[in-house]
Amino acid sequence: MAKQAGTIFLEGTIDDLTYYKMEGRYYVRMKSSLTAKKFWRSKAFERSRESCKRFAEGNKLASKLYTMVEKGKRVYSLFCFLKKRAVHLLKDGKSLIEAEEVLIDYLHQFGLIANTKIRYYQTSKSLNQALPIMTTRDQTVSCITLIYYHIKMMLLLLLRRAGYTLI
């Protein structure tokens, strides 16, 4: 990355050079050969596209769950935690429904959502087209793993840092 010098500074692209401003300084670099068309169609970027999909689905799921949290208990760090855990659960091979059940159970155990919980049963691959069905707290998640307790402790620490006391 080369710095621009002189009295006139450029921003934009001319031929194969891209001029830009970063943190108050002006730089120039070679134009990238990567295009959006190449990214979305090339087999070389297949794993990156999968990662993009997981990230999008995880963020949509976290956003939906965050709106279920009582308004007085919403903190940005909780939203970040939900996003991170949703993406990790999807990366570990969980379906959207399984990831949602795990995260809802965490939120419920810490008293951040009411006694009823919503599970979304998919009618297609899109989370937006899921049908909400109310279930009671008596239904439990079928398997409790070491990851479950690890996440539970992380959430507990997160809530304590945010000033919540748990009974």
Confidence at residue 46, expressed as pLDDT on a 0 to 100 scale: 95
Q: Kindly state whether residue 64 falls inside one of the protein's structural domains.
A: yes
Residue bearing tokens 């006391």: 165
- Clarify whether residues 52 and 16 are in a common domain: no
Beta bridge partners of 118: 134
Tell me the C-alpha distance between 83 and 17, whole Å.
Answer: 37
Q: Kindly state whether residue 69 falls inside one of the protein's structural domains.
A: yes
Residue range of the domain that includes 126: 45-161
Edge-to-edge strands, sheet with 12-14: 2-3, 25-30, 17-22, 12-14
Q: What is the pLDDT of residues 74-132, one digit of tens each?
A: 899 999 999 999 999 999 999 999 999 899 988 888 888 865 444 444 333 444 444 34
Tell me the C-alpha distance between 79 and 10, whole Å.
Answer: 39
CB count within 10 Å of CB 14 equals 10
